Chains A and B, each alone.
Chain A
């Protein structure tokens, strides 16, 4: 079963629409749920790091997510949902994230040719170190550029302590920055596949299928 964390301010509607259009049964995650390791949890998110963590704390969902991950259950974070997988964010100083992955979030560097917030369609480039999930992205054999574009909206970017968890990047004048992560049973995408049209739907299909087979 797919469980979705229903943050009060988030991209829940678009994600729910994906699940319905694709005919994938799902439930809203609640404290009463007993998750098994074959279940998958989706963490959507739009808003601030602090808002999201305070919701998880108020709903007492953080320990549930921790147990799920410890049991080997799969977890996919989208946008802010990926950022809170990490330990901290400079967006909300002093607030701890879920800490499933080491590292934190920093403001996107501003540059002449790069607007912050980073909004719109962008392609991916292959990560510096190959990760087991990189193959999900259709990188061209030469140049490591993706064939598909995805829709981004964000002002902060994840900086994992262990760069081998990065499964795809987007280009930035300072160098490639993290667009997605994958480690064990945990994955995250900074962009919005649920808002990225046919290619985004295809990617979500793959991410969910890979996780369910893991």
Chain B
């Protein structure tokens, strides 16, 4: 049942991905962008920030994790002569490298705030979401969107400057999302990775109370409207390339991982959360592709990797059993949520889409030496 984009390696099982003439939406969106005239982008960006200035000191909110992209974003805004307020919604299990990169970002020359939520409550939500929807990273997927909006209202700064439009970069969304300028609640409801779990559902978790969920929710529509809040994507105004972002960020002190990261082919992204590996493995079990595919596809589109070569890399690295992430072993990562390795295995089996993987004569999954299942399809199954 799985088929692949004829240009990159995105599979038909990626929810919300559309195809035209055998080519996926992410590749179509990239083609559109290649024909952009970028010459006016800088001026449009400057006008937009000037026209929407409300806070006498700050020009925009930049949501930051300290990663390559947010380091680049802050650099870009400062370079254009504006004063951002940087806001971090910390990850679920911040890595040492992630902390070092946040500290580096704080040295770039702007004000910075970090908003942390009740750690014990968050831990319960992580655990609940892992069992309920197979996503251990659920709180982060919500808080990275809601916390900057809370900060925007709090400090009366009407522009939130996001990095790349994920719908465009990763292929979901409408072709004309290339022109999407305003970030609103609906984008989160539709494209945010909430997996059917809603904030109101969290109250069913023992030990989670309404008072703990302030930052998990958006401010009221009235507050957002009266501020005139706009979410804009930097990649509408300046070309976007993860590799050049990484180069610029490294020149500013951003550090990549010295070790290869299990399950992917890049050492310059997703460095800030120990649960990334678990999240990406579940994605592989559910949809038959993981982070190595995402990275490879981004490189293929930019002519930095040949599709044939990418096939070999992805086959080797994608969907590897996440026995460790950066410097931490899986059992220790899970221990933080009081999840045993056995429970982890059971949840993995529960969420595996068995039709995507090879079975032996007795109906058991054919596993690779590390324990991860072997895909049935090959990248030569092109979507027609």
Contact = CB atoms under 8 A, between A and B. Distances in A.
Interface of A: 8-14, 16-18, 20-21, 46-47, 113, 115-121, 123, 147-149, 151, 153-155, 195-199, 201
Nearest to A44: B190
Contact of A197 (B14, B186, B187): B14
Contacts of B195: 117, 119, 153
B18 A17 contact: yes
Interface stretch (B106-114, B147-155, B172-180): B172-180
B186 A12 contact: yes
29 contacts: A9-B185, A9-B186, A10-B190, A13-B174, A13-B191, A14-B172, A14-B173, A14-B190, A16-B174, A17-B175, A20-B174, A21-B20, A21-B175, A46-B189, A115-B350, A116-B132, A117-B132, A117-B195, A119-B195, A120-B286, A121-B15, A121-B286, A123-B355, A147-B1, A153-B196, A197-B15, A198-B3, A201-B18, A201-B19
Task: Classify the secondary structure of A's interface with B.
Answer: mixed
A26 to B, nearest CB: 12
Contacts of B13: 121, 149, 197
A47 B185 CA distance: 12
Contacts of A155: 196
A25 to B, nearest CB: 15
B177 A120 contact: no
A172 to B, nearest CB: 14
A16 B18 CA distance: 12
Given A9-B186, A115-B350, A154-B196, A198 B1 contact: no
Interface in B247-285: none
A120 B12 contact: no
A199 B187 CA distance: 24
Select the residue from A11, A18, A115 with max chain B CB neighbours within 10 A: A115
A11 B15 CA distance: 13
A198 B2 CA distance: 10
Nearest to A118: B196
B33 to A, nearest CB: 17
Nearest to B28: A21
A214 to B, nearest CB: 27
B351 interface: yes
B383 A198 contact: yes
A121 to B, nearest CB: 6
B18 A47 contact: no
Nearest to B355: A149
A13 B187 CA distance: 9
A119 B196 contact: yes
A99 B118 CA distance: 43
Interface in B130-177: 131-134, 167, 172-177
Contacts of A21: 18, 20, 175
B290 to A, nearest CB: 16
A198 B197 contact: no
A12 B350 CA distance: 30
A106 B355 CA distance: 29
B17 A117 contact: no
Contact of A18 (B18, B196, B351): B18
A194 to B, nearest CB: 8
B12 A197 contact: yes
B353 interface: yes
